[in-house]
Structure 1
């Protein structure tokens, strides 16, 4: 009887999640109902699955009473609204009907076409129009009119009574009870961005839109029994049982065959390409590699994942071949020698003894996934290739579902209640929590918050996940078209996996852009071709490893942050395998558990390692008894606790946040403890092993992932070591990395390059380098309009260098404001005139409300020259201008702003000689990191440059630090004690203050 049920996926409208709807229906004895969310089918497949799941599970009460839990018959559809007005809702007769509805909605979403007043002709869909007194539509065979019990009196003498077979019971379901109706009102107010009291009645649901027993609903239509019969007949005609068998694992929905001829040819093709790649990677007769390759191919073929590998290979081949793009294949896919031979990844799994079962094993129920990184400005090209290659409705981006967050909910509720901003701000201030709890208004907000938290708020797009489907994706979901411009499914990665999809991750990162552009610049500037994939040479290069050991790889991917630099130095890291380990133990979980410190200690004294037990020694000897990688979690769960590989991998996956069933996770944890006890381990030992697993697994990398990062780090390190100027220019042009832009400009200057301020006759949009001269690009100039950022270099390239100010103005059609900005920065210094003279001159051309010509003059008419008095200019004035317009002074150190000439008692490179001493230093602020202590107080880690341009680091403990110690950019006087941790010196700060500077003379005047 319930043809129009809304879940919370009817965003900011429905109030119940799908499990709650099904549970409520079962409690009321309802046997079938139709989920019809508004303009989406996000929950359709989840609803079908949930009905089956709750029908199979037997509750204790059911068993005691001798009842056999039944399965509610799930029927799905979509409600179509335009501008908050209900047009009609469609009910799928079967899978084909759901596809029709999804494709109808998808077409209008993707083409941005408003939904029509009349539904189109559907073959497998029932359409229900809402009843009205003036209903005059001519109904098609599959179309009906839904009538609420409150509308029955309007049927008197209505012409629709002549079409009794077209009238059905319409009892929409939106809320659970009166309390959730109030929640519905809040949601509507938030959606309409208005006060709770201002929401129009016709924008809300009726107050009785909740589930009631079927028999009660039927009695409301006693005078019109044919409506009940029509409704029953309609629902009985629907059958979606072909979607899933209750309780069974869904079959893979990914594209099953890469070749048109089918899976048999896929197997032959994958084998041929893999063995060709094997020869490229290992030579002709490497028996170990051949044996490993055969093992993997056997499992891949058994699991029918050949197409998955071939599709990924095709993407990489297109990127490397036609586009000449550089990529990094990372994640668990790098555990596979097949992936290595297909050049999906550059990580050698034999060299690293990578655990293939982390990626794929015979018991795995879902396909593996590859993470392929491209440069930030090249990823879209690859995405467009994928969407062009595969048919419409067979390829889409993965979606995400954002939920209402705690502080955001409080703000939203406060706004619809009409509270002033100051009061709302106070309610979201964590330091006033106790005070707020005494406030009755805040208590009211909290009551609403309890109902609203974690509810779906809006659909969005996944960072890079793409689904490529065997059958049309529209059997399972409608598609949106977010601002990115690619069709996107209406559910997230968890639902995708539950349906049977595994994503292809096409991602981006700046580090690849650094490498790509550096190689190009080296070719342009030095005429050298660099084989950046010659990793085997890089990892044994003594010069690279020496720099790695010193911990100063600024600009290099993943290893430049203060924490990573410290770790590299503490480990005295000088080889690839140690870097792989460092890439994982730097993660928060390892550090917070104390395992990072344990690893460093054991790394330096491996003969003193005491292992927890024999199994831990056997499985973790390579990492000195410390879990470093995700694979270690699997190995410990398997060999220590006795879980099978499938359960071990599921537990690992659950702990990394990719498993959303809390109940299933708790069952696995219990299974871990029970199984470990059965292995004969003591409770104390089991508890300690579990502590290490649980504190680490959620933040860890797979070893293959760490290895992929380490490869890219070595490539960056090679370029910085042997071609530092070009590399640092590439870093600047690809939006830097961990640090602010000025740090990379400083690093470029340290290479010996002569770095120039922007110049209209030499600068391009981005930084360029010719020989030893590098010119800052116009992109970095604050306030410069985009048309001049690109237009000035373009005009110069087309018509040659600018000869003087007048010609520059005429050729670029620049405005007075923009020209003043460029003059102040010194970009017209080629004229030989000082800035203040040029600022005077510019008014001859553009000042005094003169109308600027809109086209090039036929004759070159020169302006009259005036003799000006000498105008003073100072270095510090220029430095302040650069600070304003670039964000940093180029040729004027921050130390030169100081009123004092004092630069500290010592420099950073001498700290190791003064361990235990209290010293004074002066440092230029680079960055900071705030952390919370176990007592919930704050402490900070700071990074500074000394007057010589060398890095040093500080620690600010709560008892020696004000509430917030830093005051932004500038130089600080630091008093502290020199401490050393595994050979890395730093300062424990006792006193700390920002030093006074000379003011801008222009501002003083």
Structure 2
């Protein structure tokens, strides 16, 4: 059967309207000997770059266009770009369409449309367009092609049902005509359009990615119009002089001056002065607004220029970091300075750029959320009207590892195989949907700043906060000459800001991160004791264990631990620790490498070490060494073979024996792919250290900040609150008079905010604040409070939550008393809600009831998710001393058999390799929580006892596996609740 190109092909980027993936479209075109292919999405141009790229790679001529379906008639108009100007016109038109809700072809639309049609072919079946532009319109038959062949019709029906939120029984009028029909069918059309289509394709000629090597980056305006290279040099020289003058230790100035001269020359030669100044400017803005900026991220911490501009806080010479790892003069790539900002204020930095450089010169970057296996099953199941319980049972069996591969999920799961047998249409249709884009999203960090209107380069769309987004994703920006700047939000920086604010409020001490002593023994003592929860990078069990075994005593040690604790390098951990503790010596492969490798005890930990060794042994430049390192990491064997020959030859000239040269090369090659970026590792270790410093010196303020970041996460809140209590910090219940959104602290006190109470949100607290501003007597009595808040969101459910969380304790009634008198209190409030002055004589006398500790604990757990007053297990342990149970915090430090009393906080049931049920349960007491494994044979015997919130005495076996302490259940001794 013979097919020919069609004009109106809709692809996956017309979300939920097409089954045609671009790669399948290209394959189809090649199979049927097309020489050109058309591409036009409705209103958007999301897939244009991807389509153009794939077509070119497959020797097909891409014809780029834009489709506009009339919202009133659904008739299609197509515009195809004849040249680059035509593409730019379409880019402007698409950008306008994506910003404006097109309901009809009104005058505003035609004003924009008129500008777009020059340098394009106009093809339409729409009467309005034909009537208005008759002389230049190619009036052809242009059916929408939404699937490639007729046998995909049923799946297209399902897609249409999903798009319109209908079942298959409800959907109608979906015609079977949205596929490539053979030429015989096409020739039955009133107009034989094949020749005209070929003429259009022949006349459309431009290279989307031809930017003539030009970078589009915003222009930074220097004072007095100084040349940007001169201004950058001035800034750096002034900063270096200041650094010399303020340094408290000896600095070899020659090294810094030489390095600065070199870096500036490379930056200038590669044309990136402007880039550095732009980054310097927005970092400076953030700091001026007290937005915390990270000490560095990625390879940019290896730049002295970045350090002097205070883009980073890491002296690269002090830590032996390499500029070439960041910017390589022998490899023409764009610089990549990634900056972390506290995540709750990152948007302020983006808005600053938006306002400074202009709305159409700044854009976030679009990403595309694709349909995964679970959501595909759910979507299709709704269309087939399959029972939700069955759907839940199916999706429960789809492992997260198979989110993009349903066929493999089925192959590895017997239950899924059975479900596929029962519901073949469901699985077949779901497989066709997996991987299709569902909608656009926003790249977490990427921003582009252009010196020209972005719409002359690519189409854009309106995004978050009115800031535009590129319609193309990040993979095609550099080819178009756009430099992506990563402006990231990091939660740990927000935590650091909260800690500083807490200390200032509670102790009137202002601490600057850059002034913190990085060599305090007590801070390393905290880490080496395994007290790492809440510490950036270090709080996982495996990492905690490594820190303890390493006995870290410097920033460099923290950095090494972070670099080693990854797949690959982990195999060297035990060897590293033995060498560090002096148990193994004489480990250097060659004594000439001692300056490079002694800091890591002869083990290559960092990429920078690979670069340095290549430079030392073979006299390769650092720039060339970095290229060789990359080739090793990517396993580019052809290039590596040629480099090995050159390396050996150069090493022999450099007085190494052939045997040693070969040994060193093989050894480097083995560890090159393991090596981590030292610049990044050192920079992030600063954040780890700062958090450990605050945890050591200001624990109350530390925990207040840490807990503020996990409100709503009961597991984390319980963990951190228990830790705080173990450090003799007194945890105070929420208080209705404490109207903070976050946790607060004061010396050894920690105050829970109202937001920790289930059902209490920020809006209620805002109303509470407003009521207090209007009436300072608000908290004079429970009756007055209830009366005044009755019209401000207070109801009986919230009242009950406030009682049992302890928020009304300050009114000096027991919680039980208030609970039993809710109706009386609300009746009084209702009667007096319009009274300005309440007669105290009318306030009823409440019958006092005593609180029962176990009831209070249970209610706190119900309304807060954790215990504040008395943990029930403390009481239960006291009542069951004969069981001789120990705290979970104790057993985590010991291996072997032991007994605990704990509450089951979470249960996860899995299938073992024999398809039998086993479980992982999270068990907590007043000291800590631990994961306990229950193997299938035991779980089968006692699964009825394993219930959420039940309290059990149990014997467990503690053991170490892959540097992690874990527990497995031996037996349940007693059910205590």
Instruction: Report TM bin, short chain.
Output: 0.7 to 0.9
Change (3 A) 1:371 1:625: same
- 1:388 is matched with which residue: 355, 359, 367? 355
Deviations 1:482-508 (A, max 9, x none): 556532222322233443433222222
- 1:206 is matched with which residue: 140, 152, 177? 177
- 1:139 is matched with which residue: 122, 126, 132? 132
- 1:889 is matched with which residue: 852, 867, 878? 867
1:195 aligns with 2:174: no
Q: Deviation at 1:8?
A: 2.6
| Structure 1 counterpart of 2:56 | 52
- Distance, in Å, in 1 between the alignment partners of 2:817 and 2:911 is 54
Change (3 A) 1:884 1:927: closer
- 2:82 is matched with which residue: 83, 88, 93? 93
Aligned-residue Cα RMSD (Å) equals 4.6
Q: Deviation at 1:201?
A: 3.7
- Distance, in Å, in 2 between the alignment partners of 1:218 and 1:683 is 67
Contact 1:126 1:143 (8 Å CA) reproduced: no
| Structure 2 counterpart of 1:363 | 330
Q: Deviation at 1:758?
A: 1.7
Which residues of structure 1 form unaligned runs of 5+?
A: 56-70, 149-169, 657-664, 999-1005
Deviations 1:7-43 (A, max 9, x none): 3322233444435434544554544443112232122
1:277 aligns with 2:239: yes
* Residues 670-679 or 97-106, more deviating: 670-679
- Distance, in Å, in 1 between the alignment partners of 2:722 and 2:545 is 20
Q: Deviation at 1:557?
A: 2.6
* Residues 380-389 or 80-89, more deviating: 80-89
* Residues 227-236 or 595-604, more deviating: 227-236
SS across alignment from 1:346 = coil
SS across alignment from 2:233 = helix
Give the TM-score, by structure 1 length. Answer: 0.80
Deviations 1:315-360 (A, max 9, x none): 1100111345444431222222221111112222222222322221
Change (3 A) 1:803 1:97: same
Q: Deviation at 1:551?
A: 1.8
Q: Deviation at 1:532?
A: 1.6
- 2:477 is matched with which residue: 496, 507, 525? 496
SS across alignment from 1:889 = coil
SS across alignment from 2:300 = helix
- Distance, in Å, in 1 between the alignment partners of 2:103 and 2:176 is 23
Change (3 A) 1:875 1:321: same
- 1:790 is matched with which residue: 766, 769, 786? 766
| Structure 1 counterpart of 2:91 | 102
Q: Deviation at 1:769?
A: 3.2
Give the TM-score, by structure 2 length. Answer: 0.82
Q: Deviation at 1:891?
A: 2.1
| Structure 2 counterpart of 1:837 | 817
1:718 aligns with 2:698: no
Q: Deviation at 1:777?
A: 1.0
Change (3 A) 1:449 1:524: closer
Please show how residues 556-635 of structure 1 align to structure 2 within 5 Å. 556-588=535-567, 590-591=569-570, 594-605=571-582, 607-608=584-585, 622-624=599-601, 626=603, 628-629=605-606, 631=608
- 1:6 is matched with which residue: 7, 10, 13? 10
Contact 1:677 1:683 (8 Å CA) reproduced: no
Q: Deviation at 1:765?
A: 3.0
Change (3 A) 1:264 1:602: farther
Contact 1:16 1:175 (8 Å CA) reproduced: yes
Change (3 A) 1:729 1:303: same
- Distance, in Å, in 2 between the alignment partners of 1:938 and 1:608 is 49
Change (3 A) 1:746 1:220: same
| Structure 1 counterpart of 2:279 | 312
Contact 1:554 1:560 (8 Å CA) reproduced: yes
- Distance, in Å, in 1 between the alignment partners of 2:601 and 2:946 is 39
Please show how residues 854-1003 of structure 1 align to structure 2 within 5 Å. 857-862=835-840, 864-867=842-845, 869-896=847-874, 898=876, 900-901=880-881, 904=884, 918-922=897-901, 949=927, 956=933, 962=939, 973=953, 975-976=955-956, 986=965, 989=968, 991=970, 993=972, 996-997=975-976
Contact 1:403 1:457 (8 Å CA) reproduced: yes
Q: Deviation at 1:385?
A: 1.3
| Structure 2 counterpart of 1:758 | 734
- Distance, in Å, in 2 between the alignment partners of 1:854 and 1:108 is 52
- Distance, in Å, in 2 between the alignment partners of 1:174 and 1:827 is 59
* Residues 314-323 or 473-482, more deviating: 473-482
- Distance, in Å, in 2 between the alignment partners of 1:446 and 1:330 is 44
Contact 1:894 1:971 (8 Å CA) reproduced: no
- Distance, in Å, in 2 between the alignment partners of 1:195 and 1:642 is 70
SS across alignment from 1:809 = helix
* Residues 421-430 or 755-764, more deviating: 421-430
1:745 aligns with 2:734: no
1:827 aligns with 2:807: yes
SS across alignment from 2:514 = coil
- Distance, in Å, in 2 between the alignment partners of 1:356 and 1:614 is 26
Contact 2:854 2:872 (8 Å CA) reproduced: no
1:806 aligns with 2:783: yes
Q: Deviation at 1:640?
A: 11
Please show how residues 439-450 of structure 1 align to structure 2 within 5 Å. 439-448=420-429
- Distance, in Å, in 1 between the alignment partners of 2:863 and 2:934 is 36
| Structure 2 counterpart of 1:817 | 797
Q: Deviation at 1:883?
A: 0.9
- Distance, in Å, in 2 between the alignment partners of 1:688 and 1:420 is 59
Deviations 1:899-956 (A, max 9, x none): 63457465678779976x5433446779999999999999999987776x4x686775
Contact 1:912 1:985 (8 Å CA) reproduced: no
- Distance, in Å, in 2 between the alignment partners of 1:989 and 1:186 is 47
* Residues 286-295 or 770-779, more deviating: 770-779
Contact 1:953 1:986 (8 Å CA) reproduced: no
Deviations 1:295-318 (A, max 9, x none): 222222222122222111111100
- 2:114 is matched with which residue: 103, 106, 121? 121
SS across alignment from 2:440 = strand
Contact 2:209 2:480 (8 Å CA) reproduced: no
Contact 1:250 1:498 (8 Å CA) reproduced: no
Change (3 A) 1:560 1:945: farther
Q: How many residues align?
A: 928
- 1:481 is matched with which residue: 462, 484, 492? 462
| Structure 2 counterpart of 1:768 | 744
- Distance, in Å, in 1 between the alignment partners of 2:354 and 2:45 is 22
* Residues 645-654 or 379-388, more deviating: 645-654
Which residues of structure 2 form unaligned runs of 5+?
A: 247-251, 399-408, 649-658
Contact 1:765 1:793 (8 Å CA) reproduced: no
SS across alignment from 2:735 = coil
- Distance, in Å, in 1 between the alignment partners of 2:366 and 2:734 is 42
Q: Deviation at 1:182?
A: 4.6
Q: Deviation at 1:4?
A: 2.6
SS across alignment from 2:65 = strand
SS across alignment from 1:715 = helix
Change (3 A) 1:108 1:73: closer
Contact 1:496 1:502 (8 Å CA) reproduced: yes
| Structure 2 counterpart of 1:542 | 521
Change (3 A) 1:798 1:414: closer
1:521 aligns with 2:502: yes
- Distance, in Å, in 1 between the alignment partners of 2:707 and 2:377 is 41
Please show how residues 146-161 of structure 1 align to structure 2 within 5 Å. 146-148=139-141
SS across alignment from 2:862 = helix
Deviations 1:705-730 (A, max 9, x none): 22222101111122222222222212
Deviations 1:384-414 (A, max 9, x none): 2122222222111111122232333333334
- Distance, in Å, in 2 between the alignment partners of 1:936 and 1:359 is 50
SS across alignment from 2:206 = coil
1:268 aligns with 2:230: yes
